[in-house]
Structure 1
């Protein structure tokens, strides 16, 4: 039997994944936990074939970091990241050793069972790009990756001058990029743009 660990802090998704696993005769439900840090302990103490791993878990603990640690310590254990965060950085990190596959909760075209089976067969299942969301007048892919990074740094508390130094440009260049983002999206101010980016889960800056 294929032993599956669920790491998910939302009750409704916990119940969904539990039903999915327990109604399938080839799967065995090992445990459901809400904290990614506890997933490492479970995998160290018992046999797990597949971890269904959320990204943003209890206490904002990072499922991607936990996934990387599990994969390095237990090469035979597969990690399938399940997330509603469409932040492009999440997808990029997942592809660089933090997961075997990734499935979007709210945006995935493929059925989760198909992704589970493909992952267990040794396939790496990742979308080419993260999903788009509407930001007032535009789609999120109309904001460049560089502009998204500037926005991410600003949300983390960096000033325009600190962002400029970090990204190798002028303070005036950072200011121009923010003005362009506000103009393209049609928001009245920078704060409205930031609120929309966070609410849509286009950016996540709280993972520990």
Structure 2
């Protein structure tokens, strides 16, 4: 039986979750002001590169991503000691949006946290794997297999109907890339710190 012990590291996740729901309660005006819009970005509304990931197509979409965020919290909250959740989310959001702009010119609008969730899960799985946790390796393999299958099979039509939007499989891929880059930055920082410690001036 899973035993959940409160951790101070849970707080940023719960604050983010609260923000997601407050924006959903704000309704259509908030969504229209914050979603990824290719036309709006061309008109220099650059905040949308980040804010698009905080709004959702409907309540089902929000519920699914809320559950995903809580899962990340339970699995990987401790890794905020390496990189704060705020930084992980900002980096992933910006990378996903920029890659969408560059490589998905046909995407006119986009919303949702799922790309960031893939980044957080990937980063956490890599941290777990570094600590030789079997679950981390299984999660990483599962994530890569899921994203590969999505790109082979195409977006899930049934899920698309449920969330009233086409599943953004491109964002899942870019989130996976963001997770690997976050972990790579971890390795660079730790290597630099180790060298500095062992080579005092």
TM bucket normalised to smaller: under 0.3
Bigger CA radius of gyration: 1
TM-score when normalising by structure 2: 0.25
TM-score when normalising by structure 1: 0.24
Q: Which structure carries more relative contact order (alpha carbon 8 Å, separation 6+)? A: 2
Larger helix fraction of residues: 2
